[in-house]
Structure 1
Amino acid sequence: MPTALSVNLNKIALLRNSRGRDYPSILKFGRRALQNGARGLTIHPRPDQRHARYQDAYDLRALLEEFQEAELNIEGNPIDEFMDMVLDVGPDQCTLVPDQPGQITSDHGYDLDMDTETLKPVIEKLKRFDVRVSLFMDPVPENMAKARAIGADRVELYTESWAQAFMTPQEDQVYEQFRLSVLAAREAGLEVNAGHDLDLQNLAMFLTIPDIAEVSIGHALTVEALESGYDSVIRQYAAICSLSMESRPNKDF
């Protein structure tokens, strides 16, 4: 099966929140993502809800009724408020991430030598509600079986190290680390997702690793969309401003 693209809408939500109204709308951009080939939508609401909000999860769940083949993935640290929302919304997948409350972005995976006892009841609860569980993990092959042992269905490999190594002398070494991690996960009975700093330059090479079920991409995708469309929009604004008064549309008062 081809790798599924799940578009992370957090940066759209961050722009929306900065102006206090629904512009840009994550529902509109979520719909556009699905209409253009994405097979899922992701949000990662943090406790301060500085970008994605808990209400967005409900709204996106309703949107996905129009796209029966697409999936909703909700990421986050399983604090009580987050878990209440996830169990109420019922996403297709919940990706558990060891974020701290004030953290700018995710920067490490779970340490299952320390986090197992905390995670096991959370995973059991999610699975009772028929939610597929993915654990955010560093690419350490020997840890993949540990994730399966506590009930995870998938792991999401944290790919910042790949983004940093791409096109450097470390590329082959880091690629091999991820390849072996995917292999170990599959041998343990896990499916494999990946995400964080994947972009249009480094994604194709990364996906030569077999058996990656899904990639979640948001920040780079949003920046690349700005870069691709910025010149065109500036030209349109400049053209409007350069029109003479006689050339502008008439307004009846």
Structure 2
Amino acid sequence: MTKLSVNINKVATLRNSRGGNVPNVVQVAKDCERFGADGITIHPRPDERHITRKDVFDLRPIITTEFNIEGYPSRDFIDLVLSVKPHQVTLVPDSPDQLTSNAGWNTKEHQAFLREVLDEFNTAGIRTSVFIETDKEMIEYAAKAGADRVELYTEPYALNYPTDPATAAAPFIEAAKLVKSLGMGLNAGHDLNLENLNYLYNNIPWLDEVSIGHALISDALYLGLEKTIQEYKKCLSE
């Protein structure tokens, strides 16, 4: 079964735009789980423009499904993750001021760095995932670095899906086969939505997890959060 992890960064962004605690990030996380989400994803950035350090500690004790923290592995981030001990940490190559995670790691160039960081998390018993693109060499070096999983950066798939779904999915299918052959788990995320998710799932049914935030929270404005989560779950079961 492919799990749905809901990224709640956008909820925190809305809260921070006004100050106070509306919407309540902790309550939204609880509701996502109650409505059927298999996990919660957050990305605490250095400037705290959405998820804050306080949110990280507030969320940890209340999450009953799976907690995934993603971010660039600076020393501060590493220490935060080690203190909270989520179920999974996803490493992304973002600069501090980057708007969104829109590129994968060069796992060959950063092999030594990634190996050191992954070893620290693996020793702590935290499952590791590395955000990468579909390049064969990058996948192989992610495995060499010691990643438990990789998360495929799916924006190229989402961009090309409306005009040619088969061509859009092809490199991701091949990448997914390689990931499986190397014994790693497989996650996917970025710009997945109600239109393109089911096609990807049907072609890569061994996906372990998809992490979806922007599209899901946007859909919830129209459908409501409960209905939206149910619709995304349907995409991963049909």
Fold in common (TM above 0.5): yes
After the TM superposition, list the runs of 4 or more consecutive aligned residues in structure 1 that deviate by more than 3 angstroms: none
Whether 1:173 and 2:159 are equivalent positions in the alignment is no
Are 1:11 and 1:219, in contact at CA under 8 Å, matched by a contact in 2? yes
Contiguous gaps of at least 5 residues in structure 1: 230-253
Q: Which amino acid aligns with 1:191?
A: G
Q: Which has the larger radius of gyration?
A: 1
Whether 1:45 and 2:55 are equivalent positions in the alignment is no
By relative contact order (CA 8 Å, sep 6+), the higher-ranking structure is 2
Match of residue 123 from structure 1? 118
Match of residue 251 from structure 1? none
CA distance in 1, matches of 2:138, 2:183: 13
Whether 1:94 and 2:71 are equivalent positions in the alignment is no
Q: Which amino acid aligns with 2:91?
A: L
1:167 Cα deviation (Å)?
A: 2.0
Contiguous gaps of at least 5 residues in structure 2: 225-238
Q: Which amino acid aligns with 2:11?
A: I
Using the size of structure 2 for normalisation, the TM-score is 0.91
CA distance in 2, matches of 1:112, 1:202: 27
Aligned length: 224
CA distance in 2, matches of 1:62, 1:20: 24
Are 1:141 and 1:182, in contact at CA under 8 Å, matched by a contact in 2? no
Q: Which amino acid aligns with 1:192?
A: L
Equivalent positions of 1:94-173 (< 5 A) are 94-169=89-164, 171-173=165-167
Helix, strand or coil for the counterpart of 2:109?
helix
1:52 Cα deviation (Å)?
A: 0.7
Residues 149-169 of structure 1: CA deviation (Å, up to 9, x unaligned): 110000000010111011213
Helix, strand or coil for the counterpart of 2:99?
coil
Match of residue 205 from structure 2? 210
Q: Which amino acid aligns with 2:183?
A: G
Equivalent positions of 1:8-27 (< 5 A) are 8-27=7-26
1:117 Cα deviation (Å)?
A: 1.4
Whether 1:58 and 2:52 are equivalent positions in the alignment is no
CA distance in 2, matches of 1:101, 1:123: 20
Residues 13-56 of structure 1: CA deviation (Å, up to 9, x unaligned): 00111111111011111111101111100000111010011221
CA distance in 1, matches of 2:98, 2:205: 32
1:140 Cα deviation (Å)?
A: 1.9
Are 1:3 and 1:212, in contact at CA under 8 Å, matched by a contact in 2? yes
CA distance in 1, matches of 2:100, 2:217: 15
Match of residue 236 from structure 2? none
1:59 Cα deviation (Å)?
A: 1.2
Using the size of structure 1 for normalisation, the TM-score is 0.86
Q: Which amino acid aligns with 2:195?
A: Q
Match of residue 30 from structure 2? 31
Are 1:96 and 1:135, in contact at CA under 8 Å, matched by a contact in 2? yes
CA distance in 2, matches of 1:44, 1:159: 17
CA distance in 2, matches of 1:126, 1:202: 33
Q: Which amino acid aligns with 2:160?
A: A
CA distance in 2, matches of 1:142, 1:180: 13
Residues 179-215 of structure 1: CA deviation (Å, up to 9, x unaligned): 0111000100100000000011111111011210000
Provide the alpha-carbon RMSD of the alignment.
Answer: 1.2
